[in-house]
A and B are shown apart, each in its own frame.
Chain A
Amino acid sequence: MQAYDLPDAFGHFGQFGGTFVAETLVEALDELRDMYDKFKDDPDFLSEFHHDLKHFVGRPSPIYFAERLTNQIGGAKIFLKREDLNHTGAHKVNNTVGQALLAKKMGKPRVIAETGAGQHGVATATIAARLGLDCVVYMGSEDIKRQSPNVYRMKLLGAKVVPVESGSKTLKDALNEALRDWVTNVSDTFYIIGTVAGPHPYPMMVRDFNSVVGKECKTQMPDLAGSQPDAILACVGGGSNAMGIFYPYIDDKNVRLIGVEAAGEGVETGRHAAPLTSNSPIGVLHGNRTYLMQNEEGQIIDTHSVSAGLDYPGVGPEHAWLKDSGRAEYVAVTDDDALKAFHNLCLIEGIIPALETSHALAYAEKLAATMAKDKIILVNLSGRGDKDINTVAGLAGLTL
């Protein structure tokens, strides 16, 4: 059997991925690709990366057996990969540590980022402070309203947060604005993309930096659970935490890989952010070809999700490929079900999960109930929910 080796040299995962950018960015992407090729297997670079992951981020993150949740459901055992315990509270920091180190190696004094929920923005601001880099974060003004604690966190860390007022004022528009900044300041600026989207080499590079999550699981699971999991679940917006945990397992065909998208008010209502589950057409956005929520004339349509981090009309091109090839399955969970799972985990396990992660938890509960008690589900608990308490309180009619 041939080992999984995508993407190809041009960043293609089958028909997905690629480099669809304005000419000004082509040289910058070529340079980035060359530098990443040079450093990705460089022992010094990797030892610096892993040193920071250990001492700055706090890796390895533990895996926790959610015993009370398991007993409550009465089916498969549910284990949680605790990315919420990382410094800054989510998996996002794994990638920003890697990219910021690369920026430093390339001699770029300024980093920029887009952010939806604010987790990637906080992680970027954090590592920029740590390395002494200037940092500008673009964030949709709608998301700024939803995620005010993270906005202030970024400011405390010395980053400039620029509100984006164009389009739907969410993650996709923040990405557009960051690309515009990069085109303008390409010589001194490194663009730290936070998800497995964007032009090549970003989907590959972000996946690689996050794959520390899945690699740790591979050694932790046999020790803790006696075997590898039967199914791995992760929420999917752009899909970085999912790729991080899926990637080291792609060739382990007996492990089911399940991505959980945001069904918003329900996939059938059209008010969702689930391009894979809703069978959206293929399109080109933000530098790559992928499944994309759009109208019949190719205009990107508004998405909806209670979680800002999943509120994105596209999905990383590798997920599009994994769906088409049948290696991974994709499902969607509504706002309501995600919120129920959020509250349930708070009460039964003493863990406040991010709203994004709560989508994966909701599906884990559903799936566990259909599986035998000796089966194992591993959920990537991609982030903590402290940032979401205003949103959740608001939905309950409370103001904090």
Chain B
Amino acid sequence: MSKIQTTFLRLKSENKKALIPFITAGDPHPDMTVKMLHALVESGADMIEVGIPFSDPMADGPVIQRASERALANNVGIKKTIQLVNEFRKKDTKTPIILMGYANPIEAIGIEHFVDLIRDADVDGVITVDYPPEESKDFVALLKKHEIDSIFLLSPTTEDNRISLIVEQATGFLYYVSLKGVTGSANIDINQVTKRVKNIKKYSDLPVAVGFGVKDAETAKQVALISDAVVIGSRIINEVENSNQEDLLENIRNLMSEMKRNIS
């Protein structure tokens, strides 16, 4: 059983919801990434999504695009991202790490090589934004072989027949994109999300995480009531952009603690 699955089981038995922050590896600086990961765990993260920087992040809004640009300016790409996870693993072997990125960097280094590297770094799951199930069968099979979870996105436009297709391939959890749009865009419609999550649950016993528009603690609270996990992305990158380097870790801790209080 993967660390993602055991984490969800434990939280369920405690009647708690998972808090899943997102940061882009190498942003604002590669020296900060591992410290930020530890700070996130200390302040309440149950698992962490680590973004692999990409030059053309089509599904991301301006905030996460800028994070990618800063990381690339620091020469952090896919290999360095995995190295940073390796660094983090020296002190933390428990917290699940999920890599989130786009297909091209993965294919550029080769899917077999990528899976070897992330298995060695003890990565627990992968989200590939532009790999729908139809185009990623080989990749998913390879991840499965190494017991790494394949996490798929479901969107407000995903119809029921596709939900069944996706849940067949998905492991770990399902990621519901709470709005039509890019990361960090407009506010979410909680009633709509509630309906959608309920519908997804009809097709799968996998936990459902909700992300893409959770901007404040109040939204996080509402989302936690109707799902199994809350993903916070652009809101954390806002802290990265607006903090002095010496305050960054503290600001992230404060934000996470507030989110954690609201979803527990």
Taking Cβ atoms with an 8 Å cutoff, the residues of A that contact B are: 10, 18-28, 166-167, 172-173, 176, 179-180, 183-187, 281-287, 292, 294-300
Checking A20, A183, A296 against B135 with a beta-carbon cut-off of 8 angstroms, the contacting residue is A20
Indicate if the CB atoms of A285 and B56 lie closer than 8 Å. yes
Kindly provide the distance from the CB of A183 to the nearest chain B CB, expressed in whole angstroms.
6
Checking B54, B78, B106, B132 against A26 with a beta-carbon cut-off of 8 angstroms, the contacting residue is B132
Report Cα–Cα, A247/B180, bound state, in Å: 36
Report Cα–Cα, A247/B108, bound state, in Å: 30
Asked whether B192 is an interface residue with its Cβ less than 8 Å from the other chain, the reply is no
Indicate if the CB atoms of B56 and A172 lie closer than 8 Å. yes
Contacts of B177 in A (CB 8 A): 22-24
Report Cα–Cα, A176/B182, bound state, in Å: 11
Contacts of A284 in B (CB 8 A): 102-104, 107, 130
Indicate if the CB atoms of B130 and A24 lie closer than 8 Å. no
Indicate if the CB atoms of B58 and A26 lie closer than 8 Å. no
Q: Shortest 6 CB-CB distances between A and B: which pairs?
A: A298-B108, A298-B105, A297-B77, A24-B155, A184-B181, A22-B59
Give the interface centre of B105, B153, B166, B185 by most chain A CB atoms within 10 Å.
B105
Indicate if the CB atoms of B182 and A300 lie closer than 8 Å. no
Indicate if the CB atoms of B130 and A22 lie closer than 8 Å. yes
Q: What are 11 pairs between A and B in contact, CB < 8 Å?
A: A19-B134, A21-B132, A22-B58, A22-B153, A23-B158, A167-B55, A167-B56, A180-B58, A180-B61, A297-B78, A299-B105
Checking B58, B132, B156, B158 against A179 with a beta-carbon cut-off of 8 angstroms, the contacting residue is B58
Give the interface centre of B129, B152, B157 by most chain A CB atoms within 10 Å.
B157
Instruction: Knowing A180-B58, A297-B78 are in contact, say whether A23-B103 is a contact too (CB < 8 A).
Output: no
| Inter-chain contact total with CB atoms closer than 8 Å | 121
Report Cα–Cα, A25/B157, bound state, in Å: 8
Contacts of B69 in A (CB 8 A): 166-167
Indicate if the CB atoms of B131 and A20 lie closer than 8 Å. yes
Tell me what chain A mostly uses at the interface: helix, strand, loop, or mixed: mixed
Kindly provide the distance from the CB of A353 to the nearest chain B CB, expressed in whole angstroms.
31
Contacts of B105 in A (CB 8 A): 297-299
Report Cα–Cα, A183/B153, bound state, in Å: 14
Indicate if the CB atoms of A299 and B155 lie closer than 8 Å. no
Contacts of A296 in B (CB 8 A): 108-109
Indicate if the CB atoms of A27 and B106 lie closer than 8 Å. no
Instruction: Knowing A26-B132, A186-B180 are in contact, say whether A285-B104 is a contact too (CB < 8 A).
Output: yes
User: Who on chain B is nearest to A298 by CB?
Assistant: B108
Indicate if the CB atoms of B157 and A27 lie closer than 8 Å. yes
Indicate if the CB atoms of A299 and B135 lie closer than 8 Å. no
Report Cα–Cα, A167/B78, bound state, in Å: 18
Checking A21, A184, A299 against B182 with a beta-carbon cut-off of 8 angstroms, the contacting residue is A184
Checking A20, A28, A167, A299 against B130 with a beta-carbon cut-off of 8 angstroms, the contacting residue is A20
Asked whether B79 is an interface residue with its Cβ less than 8 Å from the other chain, the reply is yes
Report Cα–Cα, A10/B154, bound state, in Å: 20
